[in-house]
Amino acid sequence: MSTKKELPPYVCPYDGKLLAGVDEVGRGPLAGDVVAAAAILDPARPIEGLADSKKLTEKKREALFDLIRERALCYAVARATVAEIDRLNILHASLLAMRRAVEQLSVQPEFVLVDGNKKPDWHYPCDTVVKGDSRVQAIAAASILAKVTRDREMAELDKQYPGYGLAGHKGYPTKAHQQALEQLGPSPIHRQSFAPVKQLSMEFG
């Protein structure tokens, strides 16, 4: 029986204090913005339990969200809108959201670690880290900030656009979401460039 191979610990080429981690949430959903966050952690105020936001319970994410905002040296949350996703494509919109998050940090970093294998077009010295949200604390912190922010926003959007179940699936293409789309048609916050939405938009006119 095959088992997943664990990635080795990440060794950062930068050892200074002003190290930012950046991550995004929301590349896969059919609806809503893609949200990114950046964080510079304070070594003097460590945060226990940081991990990939997807592997944490909602209660744990919420608790860590508050701790990160309290103890981080600085943090910022940014986004690319549904219109930008449709215009640029989801990859470039995700990179744009990450760039905006880092640029909005009140203390500008000397080095940035980016989750994944692609980096935004910017001037910052940086490195990409595959599965960085599981290997780098600053990226894990960013992933938690981005996910909690986006999840809360989708719960609010559920009130504006009832019937789709956005508060539950957060816009991801679940069976229930697909069925709601087929019944109601796409809403203004659905991504028209994504195939299931595009097809239904044509059918609903």
Model pLDDT for residues 111-143, shown as the tens digit of each residue: 999 999 999 999 999 999 999 999 999 999 999
- Rounded to the nearest integer, the mean pLDDT of the chain is 94
- The total number of structural domains that make up the chain: 1
Kindly report the CATH number assigned to the domain that includes residue 105: 3.30.420.10
Could you tell me if residue 12 is inside a domain?
no
Tell me if 14 is assigned to some domain.
Answer: no
The secondary element (H helix, E strand) that includes residue 36 is strand 34-40
Which residues form the domain of 186? 19-204
10 belongs to a structural domain: no
Q: Is 24 annotated as a binding residue?
A: yes
pLDDT greater at residue 50 or residue 200: 50
Sheet with 74-80: strands ordered across? 74-80, 34-40, 19-25, 111-115, 126-129
Rg (Cα) of the chain, in Å, rounded? Answer: 18
Q: What is the pLDDT of residues 159-205, one digit of tens each?
A: 999 999 999 999 999 999 999 999 999 999 999 999 999 988 777 75
Q: Any known ligand binding at 127? A: no
The per-residue DSSP string of 83-103 comes to: HHHHHH-HHHHHHHHHHHHHH
Q: Does 66 show up as a binding residue in the annotation? A: no
CA dist 113 and 119 (Å) reads 9
